[in-house]
Protein backbone atom coordinates (compact mmCIF):
# COMPACT_ATOMS: atom_id res chain seq x y z
CA UNK A 1 0.00 0.00 0.00
CA UNK A 2 1.20 3.45 -0.91
CA UNK A 3 1.87 6.07 1.74
CA UNK A 4 -1.00 8.11 0.25
CA UNK A 5 -3.42 5.30 0.91
CA UNK A 6 -2.01 4.83 4.42
CA UNK A 7 -2.60 8.50 5.08
CA UNK A 8 -6.10 8.25 3.66
CA UNK A 9 -6.86 5.43 6.07
CA UNK A 10 -5.55 7.48 8.98
CA UNK A 11 -7.69 10.48 8.02
CA UNK A 12 -10.73 8.31 7.50
CA UNK A 13 -10.28 6.74 10.91
CA UNK A 14 -10.12 10.19 12.43
CA UNK A 15 -13.27 11.20 10.51
CA UNK A 16 -15.11 8.13 11.76
CA UNK A 17 -14.05 8.77 15.34
CA UNK A 18 -15.13 12.40 15.07
CA UNK A 19 -18.55 11.51 13.67
CA UNK A 20 -19.17 8.82 16.28
CA UNK A 21 -17.90 10.93 19.17
CA UNK A 22 -19.94 14.00 18.20
CA UNK A 23 -23.15 12.15 17.40
CA UNK A 24 -22.69 10.03 20.53
CA UNK A 25 -22.28 13.15 22.64
CA UNK A 26 -25.21 15.02 21.10
CA UNK A 27 -27.33 11.87 21.12
CA UNK A 28 -26.65 11.40 24.83
CA UNK A 29 -27.40 15.04 25.53
CA UNK A 30 -30.83 14.62 23.94
CA UNK A 31 -31.48 10.94 24.54
CA UNK A 32 -30.64 10.79 28.24
CA UNK A 33 -33.30 13.27 29.39
CA UNK A 34 -35.74 11.77 26.89
CA UNK A 35 -35.06 8.29 28.26
CA UNK A 36 -35.47 9.50 31.85
CA UNK A 37 -38.77 11.11 30.90
CA UNK A 38 -40.01 7.98 29.13
CA UNK A 39 -39.15 5.91 32.20
CA UNK A 40 -40.89 8.20 34.69
CA UNK A 41 -43.94 9.69 32.98
CA UNK A 42 -46.50 6.91 32.77
CA UNK A 43 -49.58 7.12 35.00
CA UNK A 44 -48.66 6.72 38.65
CA UNK A 45 -44.95 7.41 38.10
CA UNK A 46 -42.81 10.34 39.22
CA UNK A 47 -43.88 12.76 36.49
CA UNK A 48 -47.25 11.36 35.49
CA UNK A 49 -47.98 12.78 32.02
CA UNK A 50 -49.25 9.72 30.16
CA UNK A 51 -50.28 11.66 27.05
CA UNK A 52 -46.81 13.15 26.57
CA UNK A 53 -45.31 9.75 27.29
CA UNK A 54 -47.40 8.13 24.58
CA UNK A 55 -46.68 10.82 21.98
CA UNK A 56 -42.93 10.80 22.61
CA UNK A 57 -42.97 7.02 22.59
CA UNK A 58 -44.58 7.09 19.14
CA UNK A 59 -42.05 9.60 17.81
CA UNK A 60 -39.19 7.52 19.18
CA UNK A 61 -40.57 4.36 17.61
CA UNK A 62 -41.17 6.06 14.27
CA UNK A 63 -37.60 7.38 14.15
CA UNK A 64 -36.19 4.02 15.13
CA UNK A 65 -38.13 2.16 12.49
CA UNK A 66 -37.01 4.44 9.66
CA UNK A 67 -34.09 2.77 7.83
CA UNK A 68 -31.00 4.86 8.48
CA UNK A 69 -30.10 5.39 4.84
CA UNK A 70 -33.59 6.79 4.19
CA UNK A 71 -33.36 8.99 7.27
CA UNK A 72 -30.09 10.43 5.97
CA UNK A 73 -31.65 11.47 2.68
CA UNK A 74 -34.96 12.55 4.16
CA UNK A 75 -33.49 15.08 6.55
CA UNK A 76 -31.11 16.74 4.11
CA UNK A 77 -32.98 20.07 4.41
CA UNK A 78 -32.68 19.96 8.20
CA UNK A 79 -29.00 19.08 7.93
CA UNK A 80 -28.43 22.01 5.60
CA UNK A 81 -30.27 24.29 8.03
CA UNK A 82 -28.13 23.22 10.99
CA UNK A 83 -24.60 22.91 9.56
CA UNK A 84 -25.01 24.88 6.33
CA UNK A 85 -24.22 21.94 4.08
CA UNK A 86 -25.53 18.46 3.52
CA UNK A 87 -22.23 17.00 2.38
CA UNK A 88 -19.22 15.92 4.39
CA UNK A 89 -18.27 14.63 7.79
CA UNK A 90 -19.81 17.51 9.74
CA UNK A 91 -23.09 17.11 7.89
CA UNK A 92 -23.13 13.40 8.68
CA UNK A 93 -23.25 14.18 12.40
CA UNK A 94 -26.86 15.42 12.07
CA UNK A 95 -28.51 12.20 10.82
CA UNK A 96 -26.27 10.15 13.10
CA UNK A 97 -27.42 12.18 16.10
CA UNK A 98 -31.05 11.86 15.06
CA UNK A 99 -30.65 8.11 14.73
CA UNK A 100 -28.76 7.82 18.03
CA UNK A 101 -31.16 9.90 20.17
CA UNK A 102 -34.21 7.57 20.20
CA UNK A 103 -31.93 4.57 20.50
CA UNK A 104 -30.24 6.07 23.56
CA UNK A 105 -33.62 7.13 24.95
CA UNK A 106 -34.91 3.55 24.80
CA UNK A 107 -31.84 1.93 26.34
CA UNK A 108 -31.71 4.56 29.09
CA UNK A 109 -35.42 4.03 29.73
CA UNK A 110 -34.83 0.29 30.07
CA UNK A 111 -31.87 0.87 32.41
CA UNK A 112 -33.91 3.16 34.66
CA UNK A 113 -36.89 0.83 34.73
CA UNK A 114 -34.52 -1.84 36.03
CA UNK A 115 -33.91 0.17 39.22
CA UNK A 116 -35.68 -1.42 42.19
CA UNK A 117 -38.95 0.43 42.86
CA UNK A 118 -38.31 -0.12 46.55
CA UNK A 119 -35.52 2.46 46.34
CA UNK A 120 -37.90 4.99 44.84
CA UNK A 121 -40.38 4.30 47.60
CA UNK A 122 -37.68 4.68 50.25
CA UNK A 123 -36.58 8.02 48.79
CA UNK A 124 -40.19 9.22 48.72
CA UNK A 125 -40.56 8.13 52.34
CA UNK A 126 -37.59 10.34 53.23
CA UNK A 127 -39.24 13.35 51.61
CA UNK A 128 -37.39 13.41 48.29
CA UNK A 129 -38.91 15.38 45.42
CA UNK A 130 -39.30 13.70 42.02
CA UNK A 131 -36.25 15.56 40.70
CA UNK A 132 -34.19 14.51 43.72
CA UNK A 133 -35.27 10.92 43.15
CA UNK A 134 -34.02 11.08 39.56
CA UNK A 135 -30.78 12.77 40.56
CA UNK A 136 -29.92 10.86 43.73
CA UNK A 137 -31.52 7.46 43.18
CA UNK A 138 -32.44 6.58 39.61
CA UNK A 139 -29.38 7.91 37.77
CA UNK A 140 -26.70 6.68 40.19
CA UNK A 141 -28.36 3.27 40.48
CA UNK A 142 -28.83 2.96 36.72
CA UNK A 143 -25.34 4.24 35.90
CA UNK A 144 -23.70 0.84 35.22
CA UNK A 145 -26.55 -0.15 32.90
CA UNK A 146 -26.58 3.28 31.26
CA UNK A 147 -22.85 3.01 30.60
CA UNK A 148 -23.29 -0.35 28.91
CA UNK A 149 -26.20 1.07 26.92
CA UNK A 150 -24.09 3.98 25.71
CA UNK A 151 -21.34 1.54 24.73
CA UNK A 152 -23.87 -0.37 22.66
CA UNK A 153 -24.95 2.91 21.05
CA UNK A 154 -21.37 3.85 20.13
CA UNK A 155 -20.83 0.46 18.50
CA UNK A 156 -24.04 0.88 16.50
CA UNK A 157 -22.94 4.38 15.49
CA UNK A 158 -19.69 2.95 14.14
CA UNK A 159 -21.81 0.80 11.86
CA UNK A 160 -24.14 3.64 10.87
CA UNK A 161 -21.22 5.96 10.17
CA UNK A 162 -20.14 3.64 7.38
CA UNK A 163 -23.38 4.43 5.57
CA UNK A 164 -23.05 8.21 5.54
CA UNK A 165 -20.43 7.81 2.82
CA UNK A 166 -23.45 7.57 0.55
CA UNK A 167 -24.19 11.25 1.08
CA UNK A 168 -20.61 12.39 0.99
CA UNK A 169 -19.79 11.87 4.62
CA UNK A 170 -16.23 10.73 5.09
CA UNK A 171 -14.91 8.00 7.29
CA UNK A 172 -13.86 4.40 7.04
CA UNK A 173 -17.05 3.12 5.48
CA UNK A 174 -16.79 5.65 2.69
CA UNK A 175 -13.16 4.70 2.13
CA UNK A 176 -13.96 1.03 2.03
CA UNK A 177 -16.70 1.55 -0.58
CA UNK A 178 -14.77 3.93 -2.80
CA UNK A 179 -11.36 2.29 -2.76
CA UNK A 180 -11.88 -1.25 -1.56
CA UNK A 181 -15.05 -1.97 -3.54
CA UNK A 182 -15.30 0.43 -6.46
CA UNK A 183 -11.56 0.47 -7.26
CA UNK A 184 -10.99 -3.21 -6.50
CA UNK A 185 -8.41 -2.70 -3.77
CA UNK A 186 -9.06 -5.67 -1.48
CA UNK A 187 -6.10 -4.75 0.74
CA UNK A 188 -7.71 -1.36 1.53
CA UNK A 189 -10.98 -3.11 2.26
CA UNK A 190 -9.17 -5.54 4.58
CA UNK A 191 -7.46 -2.73 6.47
CA UNK A 192 -10.73 -0.80 6.82
CA UNK A 193 -12.48 -3.85 8.24
CA UNK A 194 -9.58 -4.56 10.63
CA UNK A 195 -9.54 -0.96 11.88
CA UNK A 196 -13.31 -1.12 12.45
CA UNK A 197 -12.95 -4.38 14.37
CA UNK A 198 -10.24 -2.84 16.54
CA UNK A 199 -12.39 0.23 17.18
CA UNK A 200 -15.44 -1.82 18.16
CA UNK A 201 -13.33 -3.98 20.46
CA UNK A 202 -11.77 -0.90 22.02
CA UNK A 203 -15.10 0.85 22.63
CA UNK A 204 -16.70 -2.30 24.03
CA UNK A 205 -13.80 -3.08 26.37
CA UNK A 206 -13.58 0.49 27.62
CA UNK A 207 -17.35 0.67 28.16
CA UNK A 208 -17.42 -2.55 30.13
CA UNK A 209 -14.47 -1.46 32.23
CA UNK A 210 -16.17 1.83 33.13
CA UNK A 211 -19.48 0.08 33.88
CA UNK A 212 -17.69 -2.32 36.23
CA UNK A 213 -16.10 0.58 38.06
CA UNK A 214 -19.55 2.09 38.60
CA UNK A 215 -21.15 -1.18 39.62
CA UNK A 216 -20.99 -1.79 43.37
CA UNK A 217 -23.54 -4.57 43.37
CA UNK A 218 -21.38 -7.62 42.75
CA UNK A 219 -18.74 -7.05 45.43
CA UNK A 220 -18.64 -9.82 47.94
CA UNK A 221 -18.67 -9.39 51.69
Partner 1 sequence: MNAPLPKPAGAPVPSADPRPAPIIAFDGVSKVFPARGGSAEVVAVDSIDLVVPEGAIVGVIGRSGAGKSTLIRLVNGLEQATSGRVQVNGTEIGALDERGLRQMRRSIGMIFQHFNLLSSRTAFDNIALPLEIAGYSRSAIAGIVAPLLDMVGLADKRDRYPSELSGGQKQRVGIARALATKPKVLLSDEATSALDPETTGQILSLLKQINSELNLTILFITHEMSVVKKLADQVAVMERGRIVEQGATSELFSSPRHDTTRKFVGSVTSAEVPDWLLARLSQDYRIGKKAVLRITFTGGAAEYPVLSHIARAYGVDVNILHGQIETIADRPFGTLIISVASGPDHLAPIIEQLTAGRNHVEHLGYVA
Minimum distance from CB of 60 to partner 1 (Å)?
Answer: 25
Residues 6+ apart with CB under 8 A from 178: 165
Of 42 and 178, CB closest to partner 1: 42
How far is it, in rounded angstroms, from Cα 66 to Cα 103? 12
Minimum distance from CB of 137 to partner 1 (Å)?
Answer: 6
How far is it, in rounded angstroms, from Cα 172 to Cα 15? 8
Minimum distance from CB of 197 to partner 1 (Å)?
Answer: 33
Binding site for partner 1 (CB under 8 A): 116, 118-119, 121-129, 132, 136-137, 140-141, 143, 214, 216-221
Q: What are phi and psi of 215, to 5 degrees?
A: -85, 110
Answer yes or no: are the C-beta atoms of 23 and 97 closer than 8 Å: yes
Of 17 and 119, CB closest to partner 1: 119
How far is it, in rounded angstroms, from Cα 93 to Cα 206? 23
Of 43 and 51, CB closest to partner 1: 43
Of 109 and 141, CB closest to partner 1: 141
Of 80 and 136, CB closest to partner 1: 136
How far is it, in rounded angstroms, from Cα 106 to Cα 34? 9
Answer yes or no: are the C-beta atoms of 195 and 205 closer than 8 Å: no
How far is it, in rounded angstroms, from Cα 74 to Cα 166? 13
Answer yes or no: are the C-beta atoms of 214 and 206 closer than 8 Å: no
Minimum distance from CB of 94 to partner 1 (Å)?
Answer: 35
Of 61 and 129, CB closest to partner 1: 129
Minimum distance from CB of 37 to partner 1 (Å)?
Answer: 19
Smallest Cα–Cα separation from 33: which of 125, 101, 132, 118? 101
Minimum distance from CB of 88 to partner 1 (Å)?
Answer: 42
Amino acid sequence: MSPEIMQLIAWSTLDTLTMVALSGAFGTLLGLPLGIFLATSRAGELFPTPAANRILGLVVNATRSTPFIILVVAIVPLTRLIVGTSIGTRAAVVPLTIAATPFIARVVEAAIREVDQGLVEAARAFGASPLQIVQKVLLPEALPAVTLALTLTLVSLLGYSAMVGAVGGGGLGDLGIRYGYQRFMPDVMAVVVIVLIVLVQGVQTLGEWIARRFDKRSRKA
